[in-house]
């Protein structure tokens, strides 16, 4: 005997109900994700309960495929009189499609439904449905977020029923005579005011429902494509929560996306042109000390907090952390965070009721040249300046992490104040990474001023300046091992003098040493093992746990 999956109603004054038992046409090894009560009209008897789940598909003859489903049941369903007694007599389901159309007409599908968020609107009958999907199988790994309208969902449920017929017993739209009332219609509603219960439905309606629970057409997302897509990433999306934010230039939906590595991404999607959208990741936050997949998320608009749960615990973080975008108007504007605006002194929470005239915000375009007029004179003064030392023949790492992940980074080099600045391009000795610039096999000619510049939306500013001093090997050896004083010859048999700990720390414990070590670990991890490498010799540890996105911040869980 197989698993008996069912949708039950056991509480309340109404009759206990369930789906048809051991009927794979209704439910075929389902995994339930979410349920939501959504009114259909002003008539309460039309109210329906919508279910979101995934199950093994019966529509394909290939290997068992998993499809995402949306199902619905009338709240006042009492079952049939002779058939489907104490069983749902209004249960219908349809496929929920989330796919990327290809140039050759073949679509890439994301069928594994993971989470659903229902965004309420002013019209309670027409909320917006956000759903997270992942791809099936191991060949292609990806995640996507699709958005659906209730108008499209209702159109599918009002469309043709799926029916098998023909010589090959294929799925086709039902073209026969439709019984009255239409299967799936709620009793006592807008279209059946004279029928007070599903027990009053004719037997042909109940029998049709039992054998035809599936709709022929599928529900497609808005624009027939995903809102957010992740492919080739070392993680998968697991959950979604959406907050509506009023900004100076309109209302925006901010998406909070949980991942299976325990992070939360904060994303907005802006219209790029008539057909395409532009996705902006504002930040990515590590919410747990130990990586664990995010299971659920809930937004508290009153407290302005996002509550995040996983198998290891529950924590919360603020919906907005404007101070993290820096102390410059340009950085605040380039962040393009609907929650934040420049108030003349700092990047702070934007409120539509604020009476400050100096509030600067441009989410759609992020143009600091226009928005920060009068504040840009100090943009380059906020650049971090530092001094680093390197030894000829060794390596040095110059760190530069712009606050905006959308910025284009360039490195400029100036040997002395009288020399022209020139751009550093990638070559054998220079390697540009997301964290900065790696200089390999330092030469004495590499000494000078290095400037890291970030350009976004035609606005250019200096992120950091590093004055690099390159020491020759002889000079370093002389500093660490000075010749003995003439008045005090070393005793016979004595070795070279031992350098002090402070001298070694000053020269070797530069802040970039850890980043160089991290890069080298990542480099050797991708290099194929040498034929001369002895079996069983451990490779360097996997640096994946040490890698952090340049816009990721650690957020310790609250206790």
Per residue in 197-217, pLDDT (tens digit) is 999 999 999 999 999 999 999
Peptide bond into 181 cis (omega under 30): yes
Over 80: is that where the pLDDT of 223 sits?
yes
CATH 2.60.40.10-classified regions of the chain: 384-475
CA distance linking residue 436 with residue 402, whole number of Å:
10
Q: Among 355, 39, 358, 100, which residue's Cα sits nearest to residue 223?
A: 100
Would you say residue 340 has pLDDT above 90?
yes
Q: Specify the long-range contacts of residues 310-319, CB closer than 8 Å, at least 24 apart.
A: 310/262, 312/288, 313/288, 313/557, 314/557, 315/287, 315/288, 315/555, 315/557, 315/558, 316/558, 317/264, 317/285, 317/287, 317/555, 319/243, 319/254
- Integer distance in angstroms from the first to the last C-alpha of the chain? 46
Residue 494 is encoded by which pair of tokens?
């004595």
Residues 6+ apart with CB under 8 A from 173: 160, 161, 162, 163, 216
Q: What is the DSSP letter of 75?
A: T
pLDDT of residue 517: 52
Place of tokens 């109940």: 206
- Reported as type and span, the H/E element at residue 271 is strand 263-271
Of the candidate CATH numbers 2.60.40.10, 1.10.3720.10, 2.40.50.100, 3.40.50.12590, the domain formed by 384-475 belongs to 2.60.40.10
* The predicted structure's pLDDT at residue 63: 61
CA dihedral defined by 156, 157, 158, 162, rounded to 10 degrees?
80
CA distances from 315 to 115, 327, 485, 558 (A): 19, 28, 63, 5
Q: How far is CA 284 from CA 54, 237, 280, 290, 548, in A?
A: 28, 13, 11, 16, 9
Closest CA to 53 of 24, 28, 74, 19: 28
Return the higher-pLDDT residue of 502 and 341. Answer: 341
- Give the contacts of 135 (CB within 8 A, at least 6 positions apart): 108, 109, 110, 111, 112, 141, 142, 143
- CATH 2.130.10.10 intervals, the chain: 8-212
Topology, domain 8-212: Methylamine Dehydrogenase; Chain H (2.130.10)
Q: Which helix (H) or strand (E) is 308 found in, with range?
A: strand 305-310
Q: Which two tokens stand for residue 527?
A: 């290099």
Residue 180: the pLDDT is 93
Looking at residue 492, its pLDDT comes to: 60
Residues 6+ apart with CB under 8 A from 39: 46, 47, 48, 124, 125
**At 317, is the pLDDT very low, low, confident or very high (cuts 50, 70, 90)?**
very high
Contact (Cβ atoms closer than 8 angstroms) between residue 396 and residue 387: no
The most confident of 16-20, 107-111, 147-151, 325-329, by mean pLDDT: 147-151
Q: Which among 374, 354, 351, 370 is positioned nearest to 362, based on CA atoms?
A: 370
Which range has the top average pLDDT, 53-57, 377-381, 382-386? 53-57
Q: Does the pLDDT at position 79 exceed 60?
A: yes
Quickly state the pLDDT bin for 536 (edges 50, 70, 90). very low
The number of C-alpha atoms within 13 Å of 548 and in the hemisphere containing its C-beta is: 13
Return all residues near 518 (Cβ < 8 A) that are at least 6 apart: 543, 546, 547
Which of 1-15, 80-94, 115-129, 519-533 is predicted with the least confidence, judged by mean pLDDT? 519-533
Residue 244 CB-density burial (10 A; 0-12 exposed, 13-18 middle, 19+ buried): middle
pLDDT of 378:
53
Q: Tokens standing for 160?
A: 């043709």
What pLDDT shows up at residue 404?
75
pLDDT tens for 240-266 read 999 999 998 889 999 999 999 999 999
Name which CATH class applies to 323-382. Answer: alpha beta
Provide the 10 A C-beta neighbour count for residue 53.
Answer: 22
CA–CA separation, 109 vs 134, rounded Å? Answer: 9
CA dist list (Å): 281 to 106, 270, 373, 550? 28, 11, 26, 11
User: What would the mean pLDDT of 358-375 be, rounded to a whole number?
Assistant: 79
Q: For a pLDDT cut of 90, what percent of the chain falls above it?
A: 54
| pLDDT per residue as tens digits for the range 170-190 | 889 998 899 999 999 999 998
Residue whose entry in the numeric block shows the structure tokens 């759609």: 364
């Amino acid at each position: 005997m197989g698993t008996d999956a069912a949708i039950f109603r056991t509480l309340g004054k109404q009759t206990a109900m369930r789906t048809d038992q051991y009927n794979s046409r209704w439910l075929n090894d389902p995994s339930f994700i979410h349920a939501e009560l959504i009114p259909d009209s002003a008539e309460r008897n039309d109210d329906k309960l919508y279910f979101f789940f995934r199950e093994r598909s019966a529509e394909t003859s290939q290997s068992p495929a998993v499809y995402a489903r949306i199902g619905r049941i009338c709240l006042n369903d009492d079952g049939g009189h002779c058939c489907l007694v104490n069983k749902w007599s209004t249960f219908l389901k349809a496929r929920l499609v989330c796919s990327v159309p290809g140039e050759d007409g073949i679509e890439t599908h994301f069928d594994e439904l993971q989470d659903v968020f229902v965004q309420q609107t002013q019209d309670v009958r027409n909320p917006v449905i956000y759903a997270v999907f992942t791809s099936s199988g191991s060949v292609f790994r990806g995640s996507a977020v699709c958005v659906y309208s209730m108008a499209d969902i209702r159109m599918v449920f009002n469309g043709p029923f799926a029916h098998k017929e023909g010589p090959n017993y294929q799925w086709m739209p039902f073209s026969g005579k439709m019984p009255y009332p239409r299967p799936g219609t709620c009793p006592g509603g807008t279209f059946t005011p004279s029928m007070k219960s599903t027990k009053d439905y004719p037997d042909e309606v109940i029998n049709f429902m039992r054998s035809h629970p599936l709709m022929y057409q599928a529900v497609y997302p808005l624009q027939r494509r995903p809102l957010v897509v992740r492919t080739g990433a070392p993680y998968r999306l697991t959950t979604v929560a959406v907050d509506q934010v009023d900004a100076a230039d309109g209302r925006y939906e901010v998406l909070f996306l949980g991942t299976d590595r325990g992070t939360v991404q904060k994303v907005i999607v802006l219209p790029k042109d008539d057909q395409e959208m532009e996705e902006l990741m504002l930040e990515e936050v590590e919410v747990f000390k130990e990586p664990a997949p995010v299971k659920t998320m809930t937004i508290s608009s009153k407290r302005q907090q996002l509550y995040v749960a996983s198998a290891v615990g529950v924590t919360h973080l603020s919906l907005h952390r404007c101070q993290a975008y820096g102390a410059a108007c340009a950085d605040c504007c380039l962040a393009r965070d609907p929650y934040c605006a420049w108030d003349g002194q700092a990047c702070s929470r934007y409120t539509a009721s604020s009476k400050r005239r100096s509030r600067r915000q441009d989410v759609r375009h992020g143009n600091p040249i226009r928005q920060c007029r009068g504040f840009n004179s100090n943009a380059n003064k906020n650049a971090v300046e530092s001094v680093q030392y390197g030894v000829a023949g060794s390596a040095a790492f110059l760190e530069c992490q712009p606050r905006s992940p959308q910025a284009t980074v360039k490195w400029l080099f100036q040997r002395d104040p009288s020399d022209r600045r020139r751009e550093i391009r990638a070559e054998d000795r220079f390697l540009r990474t997301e964290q900065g610039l790696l200089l390999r096999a330092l030469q004495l000619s590499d000494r000078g001023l290095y400037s890291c510049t970030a350009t976004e939306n035609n606005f250019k500013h200096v992120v950091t300046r590093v004055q690099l001093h390159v020491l020759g090997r002889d000079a370093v050896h002389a500093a660490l091992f000075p010749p003995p004083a003439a008045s005090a010859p070393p005793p016979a048999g004595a070795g070279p003098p031992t350098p002090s700990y402070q001298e070694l720390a000053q020269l070797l414990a530069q802040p970039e040493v850890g980043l160089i070590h991290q890069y080298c670990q990542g480099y050797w991890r991708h290099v194929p093992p040498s034929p001369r490498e002895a079996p069983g010799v451990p490779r360097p540890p996997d640096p994946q746990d040490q890698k952090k996105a340049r816009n990721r911040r650690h957020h310790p869980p609250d206790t």
